[in-house]
Amino acid sequence: MEYPKVSFIIPARNEEKYIKDCIESLLSLDYPQDKVEIIFAEGNSNDRTREIIEEYAKKHKNIKVYDNPSGNTAIGRNICIENSTGDMLMNFSAHSIASKNLLKVLALKLKEQPENVAGVGCSNISPKKQNFVGRVAGATFLGFMAGSGIFMQNAVFKEEKYVEHMAFTLYRKEIFQKIGMFDPEFWCGQDAEFDIRVKKAGYKILYTPETVVYHFKRDTVKGLFKQLYRYGIARAKMIRKHPDTIKIFHLFPSLFVLGSLFFFILTIIKIFPLWLFLSLVLLYIALCLISTARVTKDIFVIITSVFFYLLIKISYGLGFIRGIITGKWHIFGKE
């Protein structure tokens, strides 16, 4: 059997906690290693990320590392693409672990697809060894109160189907030559914006449930808030660039923030009945508990998820509002 050569494109900055597990998983793939190229664009980390990657690169000729002084994730991905030699490009994350069959499924499946299929992607789920914050975040992302509608990249399906976006997608390399590279205006969300252009160019992205990537979620509340705030800005910037892609569920978090504030004020000035406001709060809590209980049976995760759903909506909603109004990123600085 002829295996296509695959290049992993991986921007990395301050990934010391995860980078070893990431690299080890890629070196352990059930796929010929001479057909695997692992390319990092390192973004001026202030931990041991660069040192660890270079240690592996000395031992494995298929690992390469390039400088990304901007720290911009989209620029990092583009640096990897420009230096790749593979026939296919795997969009990957430095805080992720690949299943052993990842390329055997994605590469061989993409090889057999018609030319109008630009890539084949899979779900990402949380690994079991995350801390409590990461576990709760992973569960809430899968719940209907915050999941696949807003964050398509976290969707899990039971069957193969065409999708609008998957964060972990293996692309044909020529797709980037035809429709362009990742847009540097998108510090995050550049893969989702790229998939919009893929679809507009007449191509499709196929989802398969036959493999998975284990993706570490943010392990602090502050980190999660900052990430989701930027996600909100990114979605707003996508809508500004591609107005025809707006969907009602993109507005839900912002409407939740504004609506909650509106009804709270009306309740304080006694225009809106207190009992009705409290009833809405209890309904929201009940829906959150049901949403997470469908994902996990961990009672502590289920209870804590109520706060995390609120965090998701507030952070994403505020980011979306900021993005629509200004389109600027850097209230929190660089990644």
153 vs 165: CA distance, rounded Å? 6
CA–CA–CA angle 165, 65, 130 (5° rounding): 55
154 vs 166: CA distance, rounded Å? 8
- Express as a percent the part of the chain with pLDDT over 70: 95
Q: Where are the domains of the chain?
A: 6-218, 225-325
Q: How far is CA 212 from the centre of its chain?
A: 13
Beta bridge partners of 188: none
Say if residue 272's pLDDT is above 50: yes
- Closest listed residue to residue 86, CA positions, set 10, 12, 34, 24: 34
Contacts of residue 121, defined as CB under 8 A and 6 or more positions apart, other chains included, come to 106, 163, 166, 167, 168, 169, 170, 205, 206, 207, 208
pLDDT, mean of residues 306-323? 92
Contacts of residue 277, defined as CB under 8 A and 6 or more positions apart, other chains included, come to 263, 264, 267
DSSP symbol at 201: T
- pTM exceeding 0.85: yes
Q: What pLDDT does 150 receive?
A: 58
pLDDT, mean of residues 79-106? 97
pLDDT, mean of residues 66-95? 96
Say if residue 174's pLDDT is above 90: yes
Handedness of CA 48, 52, 57, 58 (dihedral sign): positive
Q: Tokens 């990431």 appear where?
A: 22
pLDDT, mean of residues 54-70? 96
CB 227 within 8 A of CB 215: no
Q: What pLDDT does 204 receive?
A: 97
Q: May I ask the CATH class of domain 6-218?
A: alpha beta
The pLDDT-based confidence of 217 (bands split at 50, 70, 90) is confident
Q: What pLDDT does 229 receive?
A: 92
Q: What pLDDT does 332 receive?
A: 43
pLDDT, mean of residues 59-73? 95
Question: Residue 98: phi, psi to the nearest 5?
Answer: -85, 140
Say if residue 202's pLDDT is above 90: yes
The pLDDT-based confidence of 149 (bands split at 50, 70, 90) is low
CB atoms within 10 A of CB 151: 20
Q: What pLDDT does 334 receive?
A: 42
Q: What pLDDT does 255 receive?
A: 86
DSSP symbol at 187: S
Question: Residue 36: phi, psi to the nearest 5?
Answer: -120, 125
Mean pLDDT check: name the lowest of 201-210, 255-264, 290-299, 309-318. Answer: 255-264
Q: How far is CA 176 from the centre of its chain?
A: 20
Q: What pLDDT does 83 receive?
A: 97
Say if residue 245's pLDDT is above 80: yes
